[in-house]
A and B are shown apart, each in its own frame.
Chain A
């Protein structure tokens, strides 16, 4: 019951935003819908912890641990982003009459994001991921500047190019399912059970195609080029959702497929995943050294973390799966915080260039300290949660005897760390060059930053037992063997 409500509420909210008399209240409607969805999602996760599976519509909408985790993440980020969006959009957007379109789109976007983790049929998952892309494109191009249109165009073309490829991959998956005899309804669970008896060639082909198709949407190299552009041009709340969860959801789908492929002993794809993941991390790390725009900086950091998750999944051990899943969680909450901070910097100083920002700490202590906090967190410094999950991944890799990969990964993470902190250092300290704008930061933005910072600070030192259990259960879904 709660599960169906989670999916249905944003859809209703979008409809309400569209209705003419209610357009002025679009933001309030969005707030109400996302903040209702969040506790419902937490409820679903709690149920999953106790029962193992939650069934919304039998056969269509079900949640297991991994799905519940992603669902909760999505709802958390969406809720905070809608808080942030209130002040931000009002400040940035000059035509207030267009804002209802933004919120309508935002709700549809949330609907699509929430539906993917809980759909059981892989083909419907494809439809869901495509819908996510479509709404994201509309949101990225919202500001209608030249840069925004270019970013939206690149985004649209690069990701929609992946759509038919992944569709073919899902068809091949269905073929493999039929070659194993069928009988069980085609759901993720059913496919995992049939895994060993499916044609390994078809499985490999299917995985390759789906990986290529969805990888573009997750920002994996070499088709990550849309990410920095989209993130620098889209409104900050949208960026938060994009980076935090929208890149994670296709990766979720890829990891589901990976668990099916790993169930069939004849198909070995782990090493490929490691290599591709390392390529992503490498490209991101080196591009971080020469980035000029701080929103792009955070975008490259997203590419880096997606690569880390992919590498972790490639190690295919239980420890590394746990690392991958916790990295997903930590990245979602940290990255959304980063983009809220980037948003308030943009509001305060109206420039995106790193070189133009100096002495942020003196200009706005709130923004400065938030920036220091979030950049330390995203770069992977202790005592923040990303440090913990990266450590878990590295140690799992060592236990899995992938020494070369672990070494390269560690080096690249350090490079990225140095790059991010160097840029942030230039921004935060020193003498301010740009005069501060007279208006102070909107209340809703400050509130969103504080609310988002809380779990980041908390999870770095203490992981509550239910969260830990949820992560454990989710990791089991990924199908790794060994330590």
Chain B
């Protein structure tokens, strides 16, 4: 019992610890692809450290929402991390506390409060970005729902661990059109939710064009550090769901001993590195979509996910 609780703790520490590294690796790779040198991959750690030591300035116009949000944004990904397979492929103690739907709701909750906090300050750029984020979010909701339904229907369960076991068991299942279509749909979803190109430019500084970055604009000091770190953790969570549940559940620890877990850590990191390379290739080869084209992008994701549902439910039923 204590073992599995400690595994959960290890899982959470993994997510917390490696999220800034993931973000750092992504930006470094992107810079390298563009023939520049780029910042060190540990720069995000230094940034967060710096921010924690800075003064905090709170506007007088803000309410408790503004003060609560950074903590929420920080804690929610940690909470979701307990629910998904990060290092192990057998369910851990808290795995049955909530299923994928719960995970989705929590991430949505975080996004909701972030948007509210952006509006709370009264700065004109905040609500603009917040409304755009909400638009992307609400267009992405159906995609997430359909992906979730299809996956659960096929695996006959909604717990991510069990889904992962059933789904990628055999080559027949792996290459089934439903699976591949779901991969494509979920990848598009990650790009949208994580604020990557083609939906949004994460390195842009132009407030008028920001979608996802705008949520962290108004915060300073410790709040800013929490928002930044929370955002990075959220993206790492999404990547873990994508990789460990849907795409490539290899490298996860099979059995109980702690050694297995520790070996799993570099394997998972390696997998995430491969995905980061793929992500960087996608980002640098596409252009950012105009705002009204985002609905087409997410519409295509929706279509793909429904096509996955059709091909999995109808013939096999």
Report if A and B touch in the complex (beta carbons < 8 A): no
